[in-house]
Amino acid sequence: MKHAAAALSIALSLAACSAAPPAEVLDALDAQMAVQYHDCVPLGWAPVAVGSSYYPGYTATVANYEEFLDAVWRGRIDDSDLQRRDARDVRTVLDRLVSRGLLDVHRSRGGYNYFLRPAAFAYFYGSSIYGNNHDSLPYLCYSTIVPQQILAMRPIAAPYRLRGANVQWYDVSFSWTAGGTAAWAADPVIRSHSVVLAPVRSPASARVYKLGRLWHITHIADRGPMLPVLANSSAWR
């Protein structure tokens, strides 16, 4: 065991000496963070506040499994739902997105049907690339994380081995800002009903590895619990 520990220590020391310059790592972070969304508006559902974070409450999102090719996202609010305040809040946000050209709405059989327009496809987020949307909830996002500077970089033991690959892993600390804000998010109602996906504060850390000439990100974290927060805790009632 002592020999194995010594070998690992030597390997990590050598890797530290040969680590790529921060500029190369920063370029890789910047390219891959282009899909790490930050400021978003819940699409067709109402957050229920828990402290500064939330969980999903009323939802107007529907899925139609009878169709071979369903829409990217569809929503419906029945007239009977509008007796609820949270349903009325969801409708307010959806109608603002309609006015911004991101959704279409059609009146049909006692309710309102909402569909994404092509202009919204670039902003739709319903996955969890780096663990910031565990429930894969639907959002329209209007900003992303933009890495600014590599603050620290240290080699680590591989958390798992890649088949047939000899790679070196690193923990990287970096500062960032929110950038690339979409014009449609200037609407004050949309802004007040937005959420901030994790990481919510800078600096953040990333777990990365280099395979060949390419850097890959496997994990992003901040110094908090990696929970999303409400932009305005009083907007959603």
pLDDT value of position 63 = 66
How many CB atoms neighbour CB 208 within 10 A? 23
Which of these, 159, 170, 41, lies nearest to 102 by C-alpha position? 41
**Distance between CA atoms of 103 and 138, rounded to whole angstroms?**
14
The residue type at 131: G
| Phi, psi (rounded to 5 degrees) for 144 | -130, 170
- In order along its 237 residues, the chain shows pLDDT tens digits of 444 444 444 344 434 444 556 788 999 999 988 878 999 999 999 999 998 899 999 999 986 544 444 568 999 999 999 999 999 999 999 999 999 999 999 998 899 999 999 999 999 999 887 878 888 899 999 999 999 999 999 999 888 888 777 888 999 999 999 987 899 999 999 999 999 999 998 999 999 998 888 899 988 888 777 889 999 988 887
pLDDT value of position 15 = 45
**Distance between CA atoms of 49 and 46, rounded to whole angstroms?**
9
**Distance between CA atoms of 60 and 79, rounded to whole angstroms?**
12
How many CB atoms neighbour CB 162 within 10 A? 12
pLDDT value of position 218 = 87
**Dihedral sign computed on CA atoms, order 200, 204, 208, 213:** positive
pLDDT value of position 116 = 93
Q: Which residues contact 201 (CB under 8 A, 6 or more apart)?
A: 222, 223, 224
Place of tokens 């209007």: 142
pLDDT value of position 16 = 44
pLDDT value of position 18 = 47
